[in-house]
Amino acid sequence: MATFTLRVNGARKTVQVEPETPLLYVLRNDLLLNGPKFGCGMAQCGACSVLIGGKEARSCVTPVSAAVNAPITTIEGLGTLEKLHPLQRAFIDEQACQCGFCGNGMVIAAKALLDRNASPTGQEIRQALSGHLCRCASHNRIVRAVQRAAREMRS
Amino acid sequence: MNASRRDFLKQSGALVVGFALVPSLGIAQEPARLPGSLQNNRRLDAWLAIEPNGRVTIFTGKIELGQGIGTALSQIAADELDVDLARLDIVHGDTARTPNEGQTAGSLSVEQSGTALRFACAEARDILVSAAAAKLGVPAADLNVSDGTVTAPGGASVTYWDLAGAADLKREASAKATPKPASGYRWVGKSVARRDIPKKFTGGAAYVQDVRLPGMVFGRVVRPPSPGARLVSVDDARVRRMPGVVAVVRDGSFLAVAAKREEQAIRARDALKRSARWKETESLPPSGDALYRHLMSAQAPAQTVADKASATAGAAVKTLDAVYTRPYQCHASIGPSCALAHWKDGALTVWTHSQGVFPLRADLAKALGVDPKQIRCIHAEGAGCYGHNGADDVALDAALLARAAGGKPVKLQWMRDDEFAWEPYGSAMVMKLAGGIDAQGQVVSWSHELWSHPHSTRPGSTPGVNLLAARHLANPLDPGLPPDVPQPSGGSDRNAIPLYDFGNVKVVKHYIPESPLRTSALRTLGGYANVFALESFVDEVALAAGVDPVEFRLRHTTDPRARAVIEAAARKAGWQPGTRGDGARGRGFAFARYKNLACYVAMAADVEVERATGRVRVTRAIAAVDAGQIVNPDGVVNQIEGGIIQSASWTLKESVRFDRTRVTTRSWADYPILRFDEVPEVDVVLVDRPGERFLGVGEGAQGPAAAAIANAVANATGKRLRDLPLTPERLKQALA
């Protein structure tokens, strides 16, 4: 076990774990966050995504030891029920899910996209999300939600 | 509530016995038939509670799985009670608190639970208004209700919350109160935002994975490498000494480990896997084309499903036949199955994303050898399941492991490979179609013969215990051979009987209950494959008759609701009769009424074909849906969109891989599904039928989507693909 200090959603958090522990389990089980989900543990589906230093990372394959140097943002860090981030509001307004299990990764990937491209085309959104799997098939609603959030964030 | 319901059941049971003993008195009669799930859960207070604090709680045995049922049921209840939607709380699937409505399956939740709540809430409103009338000294008929406040003409008022104590809901429902007419609805028929969504996008505790209990430890299971494998040896002593390990369970070939930290449990699982020695056997069927020959050669008697001779049908001038196939396919939930189990003083509580908490409890009791009364199953959402996935199995895994964990609650999460290799699949199927047309192009003979394994082996559907771990225990429990789901809804033969006005229809099934690969309910059961075959063959016959596919369907359809969706979809799509594809682009059409008794769906699909690679892309789908009275239009559209795209994924890509010993589908790399850059645009036209029976829509689109895509490929290329999935290899071969 070793001690790691992480910056998560603007707060400093210290945990004692093995260095190779996937960040996902630290976020979920030590910091009690629900946003990042276990989907595959192999970086194939995107349910576990978080932002590390503003870039999307698959927390299921990111060792905690590799996550200490940059701030980590989870979906909880974007906004709350009372003060929603435009992306969260847009996903709710578009009713952009059925089960919603993939939703965390979709919002996180969309955040990373909009940070580098404020006016993505539909095709660019599909491209940016194509590494994220959705089984209920809410894809078109998700694309519309990202477009709606982009509009709101620009105005 | 539980105790009072039991008392009631005892009483009614006693009555039934009494009648049975004295039939000569001539008073033997069953209790009055009540609508929807009220029939089996007859007390009003089983369905709702008026709370003194101004809240209303409704109880349903149907569970939320992202289909929006909690919202739809709330809309129905709020309308019948005349209360604001925001006042409602809803409790889903809890063996200690809710009605037993069996499984949440078959797109029946709005029909069964919605209908029960509709009548229960209408009756509760009458009781509350009567109580208000007595209190206000005004005839009930003169009172007006708005958001739970009952007001007399003079302005005097009293609220439901004041009356909560006086209004007695501890009684049997009569279903005598008249529910509102469609014109009186305030919430039903509106696209009310789903109540489950906000927490899902803000990191709220939305899933069973998010349930945390004090002192909880983490579990993992080590499954055999293959269905026929038996555990020979494992060095569990070494694993018990690993950091954090709390318990290792080895019982026959069932192997599981619990640890203080989740990553420790995963490491311990890996260590167990490395040290375990298994004896494997070749228990699986052949794959590829041989699989279908194997199915058709199974010892399964031909059972006639339908045999309708037609006196008026003339002789066929042209006949044709074709064989269609569908492989084993996965539910492939994004989140692998998960459960929490906690033993305390001999009693077990399980948090589960099972679709049926009561049937699960019954099978857990058998597998664990305890009284069902000692088990409470509480539903919490999981990732979308689309039928019977590992949800029930993991509940037994967690219970077995928790029993060895010294009273600590255990959260057991399957790994990705556990889900892919061990979830019960949608059965492989073969459909053999034959038909004949007369000189006018009318169908004068039609035959549909099918081969299939079971489509429903959920807890409660098999004579034994079909919880996976039970078959691996040292004293194994056999799942037994499940019966097929009978007509009229059907299982293997679901939607095999054509709804069209065909002459001389014969439908035969070969139901093969023994299945070397576990199979069970995948959205639509046999409906997906049967509609794929039937509606593909309709196009083949229409082509032989030289009639446009939409025109051909209409010529054979008298049901006005079927005609309406076919016409609406064709109109919305701008269907041009007789249009030929240009080799690269094509358009197809299909129709079905789910189970031949639920929602009507017709659709057109546009495809683009890359001739060089054989790749098919569905660019657009246009569907028309009649779901009776629509409770939540956006909810219906969401289900249909999802159904079409999921079916496009099944149809173009999906097939479980295996050799004679092992399932080799272990990750998303082995089981690709449709991605963002491959999904079609979808347009949905709703044909609302105010006042008609509610019809669920979760499974209405999958069959038509498959056939519309296959028909579009045939329209584009002139080549008919009859084997699912419609892979690039198959199309390239057809085009060569």
Instruction: Tell me the two tokens of residue B179.
Output: 């529910």
Judge whether residue B7 has pLDDT over 50. Answer: no
CB contact under 8 A, A92 and B197: yes
Contact at CB, A34 and B204, closer than 8 angstroms: yes
The CA distance from B419 to B14, in Å, is 45
Is the CB of residue A110 less than 8 Å away from at least one CB of chain B?
no
Alpha-carbon distance B462 to B613, whole Å? 44
Q: Are B564 and B528 in contact (CB under 8 A)?
A: no
pLDDT digits (tens, 9 = 90+) for B409-460: 999 999 999 999 999 999 999 999 999 999 999 999 999 999 999 999 999 9
pLDDT score recorded for residue B418: 98
User: Which residue of A22, A33, A84 is in closest CB contact with B263?
Assistant: A22
Q: How many helices (DSSP H) and strands (DSSP E) are in chain A?
A: 6, 5
Burial class (CB in 10 A: 0-12, 13-18, 19+), B80: buried
Q: What is the DSSP letter of B180?
A: P
Residues of A whose CB is below 8 A from B336: 38-39
In angstroms, the CA A77 to CA A70 distance is 15
Residues linked to residue B605 through DSSP beta bridges, in sequence order: B588, B621
Residue B368 to residues B254, B365, B371, B387, B705, Cα–Cα distance (Å):
14, 5, 9, 24, 42
Tell me the Cα Rg of chain A: 15
Question: Of B202, B262, B675, which has the smallest distance from its Cβ to A25's Cβ?
Answer: B262
Chain A residues lying within 8 Å of B67, measured CB to CB? 98
Contact B384 A99 (CB under 8 A): yes
Interaxial angle between packed helices B357-368 and B391-403, expressed in degrees from 0 to 180 and rounded to the nearest 10:
40
A92 contacts B193? CB cut-off 8 A: yes
Which helix (H) or strand (E) element contains residue A145? helix A139-154
pLDDT tens column, B342-372: 999 999 999 999 999 999 999 999 999 999 9
> Would you state the pLDDT for residue B2?
43
For residue A98, is pLDDT > 70? yes
Question: At residue B24, does pLDDT exceed 50?
Answer: no
**CATH architecture of the domain with range A79-154:** Orthogonal Bundle (1.10)
A135/B384 Cβ within 8 A: yes
Q: Is the pLDDT of residue B310 over 80?
A: yes
Among the partner-chain residues B202, B210, B677, the one whose CB lies closest to the CB of A75 is: B202
Residue B331 phi, psi dihedral angles, 5° rounding? -70, -40
Cβ-Cβ contacts under 8 Å for B470 (sequence gap 6 or more): B363, B366, B367, B396, B476, B477, B479
Q: Region B6-32: what's the mean pLDDT?
A: 43
Cβ(B531)–Cβ(B706) below 8 Å: yes
Residue of B nearest to A124 (CA): B677
Beta-carbon contacts of residue B226 (< 8 Å; ≥ 6 apart): B278, B280, B281, B283, B284, B661, B662, B663
Q: Of all residues in chain B, what percent carry a pLDDT higher than 90?
A: 92
Q: Give the per-residue pLDDT at B16.
A: 31
Rounded Cα distance, A138 and B367, in Å: 38
Contacts of B262 in chain A (CB under 8 A): 25, 28-29
Region B391-406 average pLDDT: 98
Which pLDDT value is given to residue B167?
82
pLDDT tens readout for residues B107-134: 889 889 999 999 999 999 999 999 999 9
Residue among A17, A80, A137 whose CB faces B202 most closely: A80
Q: What pLDDT, in 10s, does the model give residues B233-288?
A: 999 999 999 999 999 999 999 999 999 999 999 999 999 999 999 999 999 999 99
- Which tokens sit at B562? 């079927």
pLDDT confidence band for B31 (50 / 70 / 90): confident
Total Cβ atoms within 10 A of residue B189: 17
CATH placement of domain A2-77: 3.10.20.30
pLDDT in tens, B610-657: 999 999 999 999 999 999 999 999 999 999 999 999 999 999 999 999
Q: A33, A61, A99: best mutation site toward chain B, by most B Cβ within 10 Å?
A: A99
Listed in order, strand segments (DSSP E) in B209-354 are 217-222, 230-233, 245-251, 254-259, 277-279, 302-308, 318-326, 338-344, 347-352
Q: What is the DSSP string of B622-683?
A: EEEEE-BS-S-HHHHHHHHHHHHHHHHHHHHH----B-SS-B---STTTS----GGGPPEEE
Which of the four pLDDT bands, split at 50, 70 and 90, describes residue B9?
very low
* Closest to B56 in 3D by CA, of B22, B27, B80: B80
CATH 1.10.150.120 domain locations along chain A? 79-154
Minimal Cα–Cα distance from A155 to chain B, Å? 22
Contact B455, B490 (CB under 8 A): no
Q: What is the pLDDT of residue B29?
A: 64
Q: Which domains does chain B have, with CATH numbers?
A: 32-196 (3.30.365.10), 208-280+331-421 (3.30.365.10), 290-328+425-455+491-735 (3.30.365.10)
Chain B residue with Cα closest to A23: B263
| A76, A98, A141: residue with CB nearest B66 | A98
